[in-house]
């Protein structure tokens, strides 16, 4: 089932930008982390003044670059990139016009995936072929298909590869969100995928995810560091997540700070996830629900439980997923930009 609401078109009076996603082969064999920091510094200096926002991902010997901005500036950027010796063989896998999706001038991600460059490249070539035949998907779907495809054996085959439950999770204090992902991985005998995110300033965010079957449906839970909620790439993906689990601790200064971060992350997004609140007491639930309501965010008091009571948390989340039914796809067929 394809989502019926697309957040990618520009609203009346809203400025349009062009959006392009390209994949290219990294020419560097070492020092990639440091080179990405150099690219960030150069991009912030050159691109921000021209209204260009961008994301750079590195995985398995490939760069994935998502940029959007005014047409003349964006096309000049793409021309410069073809001369950059740090990569080669660029392939366009998305091109469209519409509202700005990336909320910040820069963000980037490195994945610890052990996948080979050849296997990653096969997905690039498949998406490029679809693009050249006139079929393409939203930028967030393109990035997920290339850098974080659903790998569960039960999810493979002719069915929609994007139709799986996506759950974000974050804790108000401590590392319970990451503990929840590790608990689920042990429970299901699954591996934990690790990624590092960065914004305009430094490499200061991380995430871990696990895939498993929730009843008859594939599911991915992504643990997000608290400061990671502010990253542009994370915010760009929030419209694709129907639910986000928030683990509160009962200490107002920490709980209120987490809710404030979520409110800021959702600001300006056309679609926001339903917040599933896990709190140690009813008073905390009520206060968090009030803050969410004031910010016009959907909130469900999922359970009264401690943030490290993983079996109770999963029971509450599983009930919410069962109530939601079959997971929708997050694929939007996005019109291509004019040549």
Nearest of 310, 311, 315 to residue 215 by alpha carbon: 315
Quote the distance between the C-alpha of residue 279 and its chain's center: 25
Contact 275, 292 (CB under 8 A): yes
Contact 68, 53 (CB under 8 A): yes
Nearest of 103, 86, 180, 178 to residue 140 by alpha carbon: 103
Please tell me if the domain spanning 17-147 has the same topology as the one spanning 159-324.
no
Q: What is the pLDDT of residues 159-191, one digit of tens each?
A: 788 999 999 999 999 999 999 999 999 999 999
Cα–Cα distance, 9 to 100 (Å, whole number) = 9
Average of per-residue pLDDT across 92-96: 94
pTM, two decimal places: 0.91
Average of per-residue pLDDT across 259-275: 95
Say if residue 273's pLDDT is above 90. Answer: yes
Q: For tokens 């520009």, what's the residue?
A: 10
Average of per-residue pLDDT across 216-244: 93
Task: Specify burial of residue 288 (Cβ count, 10 A radius: 0-12, 13-18, 19+).
Answer: buried
Domain 17-147 belongs to what topology?
A: Alpha-Beta Plaits (3.30.70)
Average of per-residue pLDDT across 95-107: 90
Mean pLDDT over each residue of the chain, to the nearest integer: 90
Say if residue 6's pLDDT is above 60. Answer: no
226 vs 28: which has the higher pLDDT = 226
Is CATH 3.40.50.300 what the domain over 159-324 is classified as, yes or no? yes
Domain definitions of the chain by residue range: 17-147, 159-324
Q: What is the pLDDT of residues 279-309, one digit of tens each?
A: 999 999 999 999 999 999 999 999 999 999 9
Say if residue 5's pLDDT is above 70. Answer: no
């Amino acid at each position: 089932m394809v989502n019926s609401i697309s957040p990618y078109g520009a609203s009346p009076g809203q400025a349009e930008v062009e959006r392009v996603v390209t994949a290219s082969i990294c020419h560097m064999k070492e020092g990639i982390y440091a080179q990405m920091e150099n690219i960030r510094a150069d991009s912030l200096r050159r691109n921000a003044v021209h209204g260009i926002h961008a994301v750079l991902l590195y995985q398995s010997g490939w760069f994935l670059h998502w940029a959007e901005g005014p047409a003349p500036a964006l096309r000049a950027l793409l021309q410069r990139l073809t001369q950059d010796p740090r990569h080669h063989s660029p392939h366009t896998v998305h091109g469209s016009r519409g509202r700005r999706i990336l909320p910040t001038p820069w963000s980037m991600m490195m994945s610890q995936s052990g996948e080979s460059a050849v296997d990653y490249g096969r997905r690039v070539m498949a998406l490029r072929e679809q693009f050249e035949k006139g079929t393409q998907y939203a930028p967030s779907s393109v990035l997920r298909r290339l850098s974080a495809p659903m790998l569960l054996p039960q999810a493979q085959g002719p069915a929609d590869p994007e139709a799986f439950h996506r759950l974000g999770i974050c804790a108000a204090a401590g590392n319970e969100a990451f503990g929840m992902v590790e608990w689920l991985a042990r429970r299901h005998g699954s591996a934990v995928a690790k990624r590092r995110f960065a914004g305009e300033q430094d490499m200061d965010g991380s995430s871990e995810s696990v895939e498993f079957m929730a009843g008859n449906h594939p599911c991915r839970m992504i643990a997000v560091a608290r400061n990671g909620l502010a990253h542009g790439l994370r915010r760009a993906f929030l419209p694709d997540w129907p639910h986000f689990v928030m683990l509160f601790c009962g200490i107002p200064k920490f709980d209120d700070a987490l809710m404030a971060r979520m409110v800021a992350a959702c600001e300006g997004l056309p679609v926001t996830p339903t917040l599933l609140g896990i709190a140690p007491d009813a008073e905390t639930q009520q206060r968090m629900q009030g803050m969410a309501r004031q910010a016009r965010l959907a909130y469900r008091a999922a359970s009264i439980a401690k943030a490290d009571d993983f079996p109770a948390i999963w029971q509450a989340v599983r009930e919410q997923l069962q109530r939601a039914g079959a997971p929708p796809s997050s694929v939007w067929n996005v019109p291509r930009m004019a040549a």
